[in-house]
């Protein structure tokens, strides 16, 4: 399959490596026409304000609102998917997940951390390592399924139909679980 990754900024290369390692073809998306023949799209981590600017500039944001194929957003990516954002609106959101996220809610760069994440995705349960870098915090959940929690119960991953949002970076721990699930959708 051909898997699109927003290719402007952030850790798109780490996502591309995981896609290649599981036997699929990554494709960096920059313009609306790049969406035409991809099977799914990944919104990587980075800086959501920067993504918002670029998405609006090239018309890609509007095109993405009508994009109905599977989506995976990690960290800044989940901010771009949320329908409610506190801690500074980045300037654009796709509003595909009914959650409130609070940007940078764990603190500054030095408060970044790795932690065990308990995952349950369509009956598939496991524990894996999540990397949280200036991560947003999910402060309210609406009509979504919870798929990942920290050991203290805090929700760090949600899913609605074929849209997955994670506040952490599985790709920075070399973790391919969610990428495989994205392809299964
Ligand atoms: N702090 C960033 C933001 O608010 C997200 C950080 C990340 O993607 N690792 O956009």
Supply the pLDDT for residue 88.
95
* Number of domains present in the structure of the chain: 1
pLDDT of residue 58: 82
Q: What is the pLDDT of residue 171?
A: 94
Point out the ligand 1 atom lying closest to the alpha carbon of residue 103: 4
* pLDDT tens digits, 92-114: 999 999 999 999 999 877 778 99
Distance 48 CA to ligand 1 centre (A): 6
Residue 73 has pLDDT above 90, yes or no: yes
Is the CB of residue 74 less than 8 Å from the CB of residue 171? yes
**Best of 15, 55, 103 for a ligand 1 pocket test (most atoms within 8 Å of beta carbon):** 103
- Tell me the pTM: 0.96
pLDDT at 169: 96
Q: Is 75 one of the annotated active-site residues of the chain?
A: yes
Full domain range(s) for residue 49: 2-184
Residue 28 is part of a domain; what is its CATH number?
3.40.50.880
The pLDDT value given to residue 177: 97
Q: What is the rounded CA–CA span in Å between residue 123 and residue 72?
A: 19
Burial class (CB in 10 A: 0-12, 13-18, 19+), 100: middle
CA distance 45 to 168: 8
Question: What mean pLDDT is predicted for residues 65-81?
Answer: 97
Residue 40 pLDDT grade (very low, low, confident, very high; cuts 50, 70, 90):
very high
pLDDT grade for 54, boundaries at 50, 70 and 90: very high
Tell me the per-residue pLDDT of 1-17, one tens digit each, with 9 for 90 and over: 999 999 988 899 999 99
Is the CB of residue 181 below 6 angstroms from any atom belonging to ligand 1? no
Nearest CA to ligand 1 atom 4: 103
CB of 119 closer than 6 A to ligand 1? no
Does pLDDT of 160 surpass 90? yes
């Amino acid at each position: 399959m051909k898997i699109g990754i927003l290719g402007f900024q952030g850790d798109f290369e780490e996502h591309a490596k995981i896609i290649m390692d599981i036997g699929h073809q990554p494709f960096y998306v920059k313009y609306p026409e790049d969406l035409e023949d991809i099977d799914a799209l990944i919104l990587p981590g980075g800086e959501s304000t920067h993504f918002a600017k670029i998405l609006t500039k090239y018309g890609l944001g509007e095109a993405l609102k009508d994009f109905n194929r599977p989506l995976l957003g990690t960290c800044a990516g989940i901010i771009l998917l949320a329908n409610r954002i506190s801690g500074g609106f980045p300037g654009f959101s796709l509003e595909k997940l009914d959650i409130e996220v609070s940007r940078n809610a764990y603190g500054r760069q030095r408060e970044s951390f790795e932690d065990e994440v308990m995952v349950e995705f369509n009956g598939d349960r496991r524990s894996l390592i999540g990397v949280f870098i200036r991560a947003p915090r999910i402060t309210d959940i609406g009509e979504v399924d919870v798929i990942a929690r920290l050991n203290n119960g805090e929700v760090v991953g949600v899913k609605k139909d074929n849209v997955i949002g994670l506040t952490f970076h599985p790709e920075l721990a070399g973790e391919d679980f969610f990428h495989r699930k994205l392809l299964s959708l």
